[in-house]
Chains A and B, each alone.
Chain A
Amino acid sequence: MELNTIKDAFDRVVKKQKLSSSKSHEVIDHVGQEIEQALAKFLSTHDSTSSIDQKSILAELKLKLNAISPVQQFEGSQKELNQNLSKYPKLLERSFNPDISKAYRNVDFDFHIVNQIIANHFYQQGLFDLGDSIIYEAGEHEATVLKSQFLEMYQILESMRVKNLEPALNWVSANREKLKQNGSHLELKLHSLQYMEILQNGTQADALNYAKTYLAPFAFLYKEEIMKLMGCLAFRGRLASSPYSELMSPTHWEKSTDELIQQFCRLLGQSCKSPLSVAITAGFEGLPTLLKLANVMAAKKQEWQAMKQLPVPVELSKEYQFHSIFVCPVSRDQGSEENPPMLMPCLHVLCKQSIMKLSKSSTRTFKCPYCPAEASVAQCRQLYF
């Protein structure tokens, strides 16, 4: 983008404005001086005042001021400024998209829902003040928000930050079964962190005790990890130069914190990324395409407001791809339950309807559109993505 052109244009506006303002100062000073000179004359002739002198002083002043013609002077400097003031917005309109609401569908966007989404966004980020503030100001006291849940999460995280693992371990043991279902090793990781802390700051007996009570139950499942942890005992006091120095790395704390956030959100039925943030950033990427589309459709007098599906793809980055969408390369139809993707013996994939067409409703074998191989309907099988 030619931001430099815009910057230059803006600098010109500021320059003209400064010029105009110093002109104003100059003219005001000038007028002021003339009046003061007239005043001085008055005072010097004060004793022998004749009304003739007085009149002539004032008349002279009037003439002088008319000669300065301040208003015209202002107009001159203002004219150039005005030109620049109206040029700049036009430049902005040319360089930017002046109306990004062209692709907006005029539907009632329920602001209660939007407010609730915003409040939850703040809570999820740990910005409890802001969440409370919008709930209060918008009067959304009925909104279902996840404040207490996220409050619990941030209390756990805050404790973890000062190396107090107790709240985290309490939460993990309360949710042990669910975490196991998710295939999370968070409990072991937290206990390992605790054990390493004791090993570095406590006595050997403490560390051994801790390992017996809390690490032993994991011995079967995580043989290697436990072996390493126990190996550390031999190097107590000089762990940093031991083969296990890696276990002291602060990244273990960071990773466990991240996993705790992930698992906590998952058990809440939430994503660990704010959904508002995901939807809006998808909008940042998608809106330019939608605006182009809206322009084209307006030119063709096609209806934007009512269509059920966008006529063209809006390409988003990988991270916004949440679902498998199969598009048949022959019919360009999107796969569905009635029209699922089918794998042919040559390992190419078409949708069922295309295969039915090619095989004349499974009455004969057909050639794959992508390779020379022949196939029959019976040889094709449905795929599940």
Chain B
Amino acid sequence: MEMNSLPNGNSTPSTPPVPTTTSPPSSKVGQLAESLRLEHQFLRVPFEHYKKTIRANHRVVEKEMSSVISGVSDAADRDDLSSDEAVNHLNSLVSRLQGLKRKLEEGSRVEHLQAQRCRARLDHLESADAENLSEWNNMRLKRILVDYMLRMSYYDTAVKLAESSNIQDLVDIDVFQEAKKVIDALQNKEVAPALAWCADNKSRLKKSRSKFEFQLRLQEFVELVRAENNLRAITYARKYLAPWGSTHMKELQRVFVTLAYKSTTECATYKVLFEPTQWDHLVDLFKQEFCKLYGMTLEPLLNIYLQAGLSALKTPYCYEDDCTKEDPLSQESFRKLALPLPYSKQHHSKLVCYITKELMDTENPPQVLPNGYVYSTKALEEMAKKNDGKITCPRTGFVCNYKDLVKAYIS
């Protein structure tokens, strides 16, 4: 360090220089921490995905291994096995084990990628600080937009946005690929992929007492009735619906009645069961179950944040004609969205200068013109400087001198 840059030449060089970087105010840091605590889904979803892969891989190993063991047992217990047969049998077991190893390696590769994704997200959360916040929030908005698009099934746009912003690791496109198959099928009135999905996630769906599989079965039954295939409908009901009888008797009975009617029934209670909107309902139900399973919110993140933001911004002034364009609520679309939301509340005055749009506080106090209009000191000083001490009220055209102004005390 150069000595002449120190204010005191005689000060001992061992005194550490006072740090010049001002740390951001603690309230900002606290606010950021609070805001980051909202990111549960961001970490949870890739982890659930990872967990799922681990479990599935493990099941494959267990299953294959048991069947190899029992293959040996069977061979050992048989008396009629020729030598060649035994050799062939053992050879086939060996190649089966080799196949299992290959599968396991492939599985490990996937697990590794998913673990990396979990890490990438932890690192991304860690990278947020008060300095890069606006950039970080920009990224956050993009993530939220991708989430919205995936939930709304706008997959192509979601992929484009993720790729163009290079945030593939920070969004859940691959998780939603799984959902897409089921949703597409349901929209084509096919239940098989949805049922397969239920089977895959059986234990967790059971834990949350999900009715989704039951609803799928009911729909299949209704489709059989629609096709007037009553006998098959009854066999189907015996096999797949009866197990639900203990818990969902009422709904079961209601659906059984359709056997007596036909799909053309005008009876409102049963007519709705035949309506095509039932399939849309199944799609919605699936989306809910899917989100629950992965620890996602049921609503798109975009809607949640948008509601929160609009509630915090909403004031009666937003709906006036002269609302400033900087306010999102000056736009008809945002106004409509905010209509059912509550107004924000203030405990203390917050005054914004009409001219500079800056907050009027103790550093930039409000000043009153003789006509009662109030502007910030900064704006009025500047105006006076430019116009030889003359002040013109921009809203009324009233002209006065700078010295005619008085400061107002707002507490």
Contact = CB atoms under 8 A, between A and B. Distances in A.
Given A74-B62, A273-B326, A309-B345, A283 B299 contact: no
Interface in B1-41: 31, 33-41
Given A17-B115, A71-B69, A133-B160, A323 B352 contact: yes
B252 interface: no
How many chain B residues sit at the interface, stated as a range, is 35 or more
A309 B336 contact: no
Interface stretch (A32-40, A167-175, A187-195, A229-237): A32-40
Contact of A385 (B138, B303, B313, B374): B374
B167 interface: no
Contacts, number: 363
Contact of A110 (B100, B302, B327, B336): B336
A308 B345 CA distance: 10
Interface residues of A, number: 122
A355 B343 CA distance: 26
B108 interface: yes
Contacts of B68: 31
Nearest to B410: A349
Contact of B35 (A133, A134, A284): A284
B104 A25 contact: yes
B161 A325 contact: no
Contact of A24 (B87, B104, B333): B104
A180 interface: no
Contacts of B141: 276-277, 280-281
Given A42-B87, A279-B334, A348-B409, A105 B340 contact: yes
Interface in A257-282: 265-266, 269-271, 273, 275-282
A283 B309 CA distance: 4
A279 B309 contact: yes
A127 B160 CA distance: 11
Interface stretch (A95-103, A151-159, A202-210, A247-255): A95-103
19 contacts: A1-B37, A7-B122, A24-B104, A35-B93, A43-B87, A96-B38, A100-B38, A107-B340, A114-B148, A116-B333, A276-B141, A278-B328, A284-B305, A286-B309, A289-B312, A309-B342, A325-B350, A327-B347, A383-B368
Given A89-B47, A323-B352, A327-B348, 8 more contacts: A74-B61, A92-B43, A101-B304, A114-B302, A273-B326, A310-B311, A320-B312, A329-B349
**Considering the complex of A and B, which 7 residue pairs feature the smallest CB-CB distances, nearest first?**
A283-B309, A283-B305, A286-B312, A275-B328, A282-B309, A96-B40, A322-B327
